[in-house]
Amino acid sequence: MRYKLLLIAFIFFGHFHQTFSQSKGLSTIDSLKDSFQKASDKKKKVDLLNQLGYEFRKTENKDSSIFYTDRAVEITNQFHYPQGEILATLNYAITYRELKKYSKAKEYSQTLIRLCEAERDSLRLGDAFDNLAHIYFEEGDTHKALINHFSALRIREKTGDNYGSGNSYDNIAHIYSSQYRYEDALKYFMRSFKTFKKVKDLSRETLSLANVGLQLYRQGNYPAALL
């Protein structure tokens, strides 16, 4: 029963959070546009354009996301700013994956890996492998998806990226569950739950715990699933 109530709470909270986030995102976009108009420093402009690309992607406006990322790249081509190039490449990689243009998404993900390794940017390197894993999973290749999720997880654990690690645990658990490997899925959902509890993300903690209950139910452990 506990898992069921938590799942209901998560669905309600998730709907409210999505509506609130979309409204907040549009307000953020207006603020970023205003800041860009006032900016004169090239690095600042690139950072703002990359942020605009990210915010538009969050509001499901992929065309605008690519447009502002293109503008960021145009400026980074004029001077040496690896971090700006890394963030632009990350945005391309994720946006093209979400558009299901997997060939382009893989190309940008591989470029991102090379850039991150050259700049020793472990945080974004983990994101690059994570994105590749999602691409392979969406293409139906769970073997390659797991390889890349574990690559992302090793990097995130090593660098102390708790939130990223929580995401990796969750992603791995979902793949195991889709393969009917419920015991393995349970183990990684529990790790996800503990990690999101540690970083105090109540919505993700709740969802992970609900998924723990779901794995117990699928194993036929009904009394434990209803606790």
**Domain spans of the chain?**
23-160, 162-227
**Residues 209-217: what's their mean pLDDT?**
91
- Identify the pLDDT of residue 14: 56
CATH topology match: 23-160 vs 162-227: yes
- If one counts every other C-beta atom within 10 angstroms of the C-beta of residue 109, the result is 27
Could you tell me how far CA 18 lies from the centroid of its own chain?
16
**Tokens (6 digits) for 159:** 């660098």
**Residues 163-169: what's their mean pLDDT?**
98
- 164 Cβ neighbours under 8 A, 6+ residues apart: 123, 126, 127, 130, 152, 156
Q: Alpha-carbon distance 82 to 114, whole Å? A: 11
Q: Is the pLDDT of residue 15 over 70?
A: no
Residue predicted with more confidence, 16 or 157: 157
- Identify the pLDDT of residue 161: 97
**Residues 37-54: what's their mean pLDDT?**
95
Q: Which long-range contacts (CB under 8 A, 24 or more apart) does 27-32 make?
A: 28/55, 29/55, 29/56, 29/59
Q: Which of 10-19, 60-69, 145-154, 186-195 has the lowest mean pLDDT?
A: 10-19
Q: Is the pLDDT of residue 2 over 90?
A: no
Is residue 116 exposed (0-12), middle (13-18) or buried (19+ Cβ within 10 Å)? buried
3-state SS class at 64: helix
Could you tell me how far CA 23 lies from the centroid of its own chain?
20
162-227 CATH: 1.25.40
**Residues 104-118: what's their mean pLDDT?**
98
Query: Domain 23-160 is classified in which CATH homologous superfamily?
Result: Tetratricopeptide repeat domain (1.25.40.10)
Residue predicted with more confidence, 2 or 212: 212
Look at phi and psi of residue 169 and say left if phi exceeds 0, alpha if psi is from -120 to 50, else beta: alpha
3-state SS class at 56: helix
pTM score, whole prediction: 0.85
Q: Alpha-carbon distance 189 to 210, whole Å? A: 9
- Identify the pLDDT of residue 223: 61
- If one counts every other C-beta atom within 10 angstroms of the C-beta of residue 82, the result is 13
55 touches 25 (CB < 8 A): yes
